[in-house]
Amino acid sequence: MTDTGLEELSVAACWDRLEVAQVGRVAFLADDFPIVFPVNFRVVQTGGRPHWLVIRTRPGTLLDQATLPVALQIDEFDSAVRGGWSVLVRGTLHHVDPDAADFRERFDPDPWLTDDRDAWLVIEPFAVSGRNLAGVAAEWAFRHDAYL
């Protein structure tokens, strides 16, 4: 822990947070400009392969047409103590045939919106990093003797 309260999370700690998260933000370039969308995702690991992040979207959307390099971020903050954490995954986006190797049944990310979301995408990570910002206990904003 540094004097600022900011610490780097281990890769294992980052994956622990990713495995329980359901929503993140995926970033990519669209028309030469960055764009960010909230997405439901699921972490999967098959055999000895590294973790993947699976996303479903509607065919033809900007996300479905995204270029290969992407980033996905999850985080949690507590503004009362000014603390929180953030995990960033950078990787390559791949289109997947959901009917191949029972992919649909085994790895469905269970999107909150299900209307026509049959474009299946996988982020294959090449870098995973995270940070934790330790919060501080807030001082009581009122003096007890002010009411006496």
The structural domains of the chain, with segments of one domain joined by +, span 6-124
Fold of 6-124: Pnp Oxidase; Chain A (2.30.110)
User: What is the Cα–Cα distance from 115 to 10, expressed in whole angstroms?
Assistant: 37
- Confidence band for 118, pLDDT divided at 50, 70 and 90: confident
- The pLDDT of residue 126: 94
Of all residues in the chain, the percent with pLDDT exceeding 90 is: 42
User: What is the Cα–Cα distance from 103 to 59, expressed in whole angstroms?
Assistant: 17
- Confidence band for 9, pLDDT divided at 50, 70 and 90: very high
Mean pLDDT of the chain: 83
User: What is the Cα–Cα distance from 84 to 56, expressed in whole angstroms?
Assistant: 28
Mean pLDDT of the region 56-78: 90
- Confidence band for 111, pLDDT divided at 50, 70 and 90: low
- The pLDDT of residue 148: 57
CB-based contact 18:53 (threshold 8 Å):
yes
User: What is the Cα–Cα distance from 22 to 74, expressed in whole angstroms?
Assistant: 9
List pLDDT tens digits, range 15-54: 999 999 989 999 999 988 999 999 989 898 766 666 889 8
66 has a pLDDT exceeding 50: yes
- The pLDDT of residue 146: 56
- Confidence band for 123, pLDDT divided at 50, 70 and 90: very high
- The pLDDT of residue 16: 93
User: What is the Cα–Cα distance from 68 to 122, expressed in whole angstroms?
Assistant: 10
55 has a pLDDT exceeding 50: yes
